[in-house]
Amino acid sequence: MSVEEVLILDAEAEAHERSIELFVTGCSGFIGTHLVGRLLSNGHIVTGYDLVQPQYAHPNFEFIEGDILDLERLQASIVKPDGIFHLAAQTKVPDSTRDPAYDFCVNAQGTFNVLSCASDARFIYASTSTVYGTASVPTTEAHPLRPVSFYGASKAAGELCCSAFNGILGLPTISLRLYNVYGPGNAKGVMYDLIRKLQRDGTTLEILGTGLQKKDYVYIDDAIDAFVLAYDKGIPGEAYNIGSGSATTVNEIAVLICELMALRPDVYRTGGKSWEGDIESTQADVSLFASFGWEPKIDIKTGLQHLYKWIQDQQ
């Protein structure tokens, strides 16, 4: 074997053994916390960026306090990582209605800022199913983006920025259109709200809307599997649905929770819409991303058990 061949093999071995360096915005949030934990357990070096200090420590983790709207801070913090997971966002549809300007600033301008600092890093963007608006179900990625909330519009703008950076600058961007992600650590959403209501008063239960709202809920571990696989196998420039592939009504969730808590409350439904901009029927067609070998593993009954145990442990 020649000297040149030995040097090439040594370089390839060194590159293979080197830990991947990753940058995660929104590292202290529900999904971000789980994602950072998984990346660290996989042996990667992770820098987290958020406004809030995360509640964990690891020798391969560095935290930087910062705002994605602070471009100068971002530029100083993102030092040529191998990959970027962009999760920082304003994530509440009702809040986007109350202050659409702030919502757009964080989700659209903030995403543009992170993209502008990405250099040639592989870029995974946490998008949302709300970019579709009211869509036929099960919904494929080919469905037009027609958001009916300010939140959906701002996240769609972030996706379009990813597309432009990919098309013009060749930045390897991948968007994950997340459906309703739930599980331990998520102190918001219909499941958390119903459990907390029943903990306060197990004799009555108020359900916002008709209870017939039927949505796709994906467990957090399955969503994290998708983020990791998207980094490894996702095709730059593409967007993928990440959901369970099935849909459950709020009434059905309430029944499962009451069974889990061994309660039989009187149920009261407010009627009408839960909130302005709420999509009442969602279900993902996940066949495109499933082609990489991904499939959701946790059914909603098991996922609710894990969520309920976490809520109990916090008290």
pLDDT in tens, 242-278: 999 999 999 999 999 999 999 999 999 998 777 677 8
Coil vs helix vs strand at 131: helix
Please report, as a single letter, which amino acid is at residue 228. Answer: V
Task: Read off the pLDDT of each residue in 49-73 and give the average, rounded to a whole number.
Answer: 96
| Domain assignment present for 271 | no
| Domain assignment present for 10 | yes
| Domain assignment present for 80 | yes
Task: Read off the pLDDT of each residue in 25-31 and give the average, rounded to a whole number.
Answer: 98
| Domain assignment present for 45 | yes
Would you state the pLDDT for residue 18?
Answer: 62
| Domain assignment present for 43 | yes
Task: Compute the C-alpha angle 132/160/287, nearest 5°.
Answer: 50
Q: In angstroms, rounded to a whole number, what is the distance separating the alpha carbons of residues 242 and 229? A: 11
| Domain assignment present for 202 | no
Q: How many domains does the chain have?
A: 1
CATH number of the domain encompassing residue 28? 3.40.50.720
pLDDT in tens, 270-312: 987 776 778 889 999 999 999 999 999 999 999 999 999 999 9
pLDDT of residue 92 exceeding 70: yes
pLDDT in tens, 203-227: 999 999 999 999 999 999 999 999 9
Which residue matches tokens 């109350």?
A: 98
| Domain assignment present for 304 | no
Q: In angstroms, rounded to a whole number, what is the distance separating the alpha carbons of residues 124 and 86? A: 6
Residue 111's domain comprises 3-182+218-245+283-297
| Domain assignment present for 311 | no
Would you state the pLDDT for residue 16?
Answer: 42
Would you state the pLDDT for residue 14?
Answer: 43
User: Do residues 22 and 79 touch, judged by C-beta distance below 8 A?
Assistant: no
